[in-house]
Amino acid sequence: GRVWAKGMAMTSKEPHFTPLEFTRHAVGDNDILIDIMYSGICHSDIHMGKNEWRPTTYPYVGGHEIAGRVAKVGKNVTKFKVGDYAGIGCIINSCGECDHCKKGEEQFCEKGMIGTYQSKDYKHNDEITQGGYANNYVVSEKYAIKIPKNADMKRVAPLLCAGVTTYSPIHFSNVKKGDTVAVAGLGGLGHMAVQYLVKLGAKVTIFDLTEEKRADAKRLGAVAYVNVNNPVELKGQNEKFSFIISTIPAKYDPVMYVNMLKMGGEMAIVGLPANENTPTMTSSALVYAAHRKVYGSLIGGIPETQEMLDYSVANNIYPEVEIIPANKIDEAYQNVIDGKVKFRYVIDMATLNS
């Protein structure tokens, strides 16, 4: 029958969490039950909870950076056995039959990817999915990610969203050793982007708003840090970069960054601000900044997520995390909103019962 779950939920757009008991669909023949150990807090969880993208269904359990241990397997499951580590990112199912799904780009599924939370699960009677700030998750084995035994479980969860969302466009744009590149917004996603780019041997410049992150930028391996509030530092950045990734979750001027691209350079936008803060760029601005390419990028498919995870663990690339108990999510949300997190909060789900 259905699986009982316990999580932390928002019941309105106020970022306040209370315990919630709910159920998930039964563990089918191709499904696994994961006991969640750690759950990362992505800025997307906050946009969603605060109703900033589309109407949210409450109670809402966020969380799409999930790491845990397999507790149960359906009878057809071959990818996992009980006791294995497993992860879940932003996608928990999709039609599985369209061209995108067949290519392993389930985020572009023609019928729609089924998201880890706030998504209508058309494979399970249209129930609304609830996320990973919870003790468990039931997912089809195909959409679960294998986490190697030697992974650092405390730090692995944020790779499932922040990791793949930055890894994917870096490879889509074919960034290479020696390239001069930039990362706009040094937060959860941004600090992963920097690590992947540095590992590839690119020369990374970071753009953010504060002096507090200058030392972090250097520690992460960036060659330069630009405080965008300082006009002197902004001078001389135009036509400099072959690749820019923008993770900014607030209103800003994308044209400023487009103008920093070299001819033929590419800018990937992954930041998804609240609707009312969506940055705009005129078509004329693109004409004046001719022969640069600007594109959006949305997480990554399941095969690429697995590739990213294996690569990250093998190369010891992890987020910098602060582990918090389940009763501190309210505070954590406020700190992310205020820009005080370095660089990802991870909830220790074992604390749910205390």
By the criterion CB under 6 A, which residues form the site for ligand NDP?
42-44, 47, 161, 165, 184-190, 207-210, 228, 247-250, 252, 270-273, 297-299, 336, 339
Q: Which of positions 51-80 make contact with Zn ion (CB under 5 A)? A: none
**Of 44 and 107, which CB lies nearer to Zn ion in the complex structure?**
44
- Distance (Å, whole) CA 308 – CA 179: 20
Task: Pick the stretch among 54-62, 71-79, 156-164, 236-244 that binds Zn ion (CB under 5 A).
Answer: 156-164
- Distance (Å, whole) CA 132 – CA 125: 20
Q: Does 44 bind Zn ion (CB under 5 A)?
A: yes
Q: Are 323 and 350 in contact (CB under 8 A)?
A: no
Task: Pick the stretch among 42-50, 115-123, 142-150, 343-351 that binds Zn ion (CB under 5 A).
Answer: 42-50
Give the one residue of 42, 217, 308, 341 binding Zn ion; rule: CB under 5 A: 42
From the list Zn ion, ligand NDP, none, which binds 252 (C-beta under 5 to 8 Å, kind-based)?
ligand NDP
**Of 33 and 321, which CB lies nearer to ligand NDP in the complex structure?**
321
Kindly state the tokens that stand for 177. 């050793």
**Of 88 and 220, which CB lies nearer to Zn ion in the complex structure?**
88
- Closest approach, Cβ 78 to ligand NDP, in A, equals 29
**Radius of gyration of the chain from its Cα atoms, rounded to whole angstroms:** 20
**Of 32 and 42, which CB lies nearer to ligand NDP in the complex structure?**
42
**∠ CA 88-62-73 to the nearest 5 degrees?**
35
- Closest approach, Cβ 75 to ligand NDP, in A, equals 34
**∠ CA 69-86-119 to the nearest 5 degrees?**
110
What are the CA-CA distances from residue 132 to residues 34, 42, 68, 330 (Å)?
10, 11, 10, 16
From the list ligand NDP, Zn ion, none, which binds 60 (C-beta under 5 to 8 Å, kind-based)?
none
Q: At what angle do helices 302-314 and 162-172 cross, to 10 degrees?
A: 100
Q: Does 161 bind Zn ion (CB under 5 A)?
A: yes
From the list Zn ion, ligand NDP, none, which binds 244 (C-beta under 5 to 8 Å, kind-based)?
none
Q: Helices (H) and strands (E) in the chain — how many of each?
A: 11, 19
- Distance (Å, whole) CA 305 – CA 69: 18
From the list Zn ion, ligand NDP, none, which binds 228 (C-beta under 5 to 8 Å, kind-based)?
ligand NDP
**Of 183 and 352, which CB lies nearer to ligand NDP in the complex structure?**
183
- Closest approach, Cβ 90 to Zn ion, in A, equals 6
One DSSP character per residue, 20-46 reads EEEEE----TTEEEEEEEEEE--HHHH
- Residues contributing to the site for Zn ion (CB under 5 A): 42, 44, 161
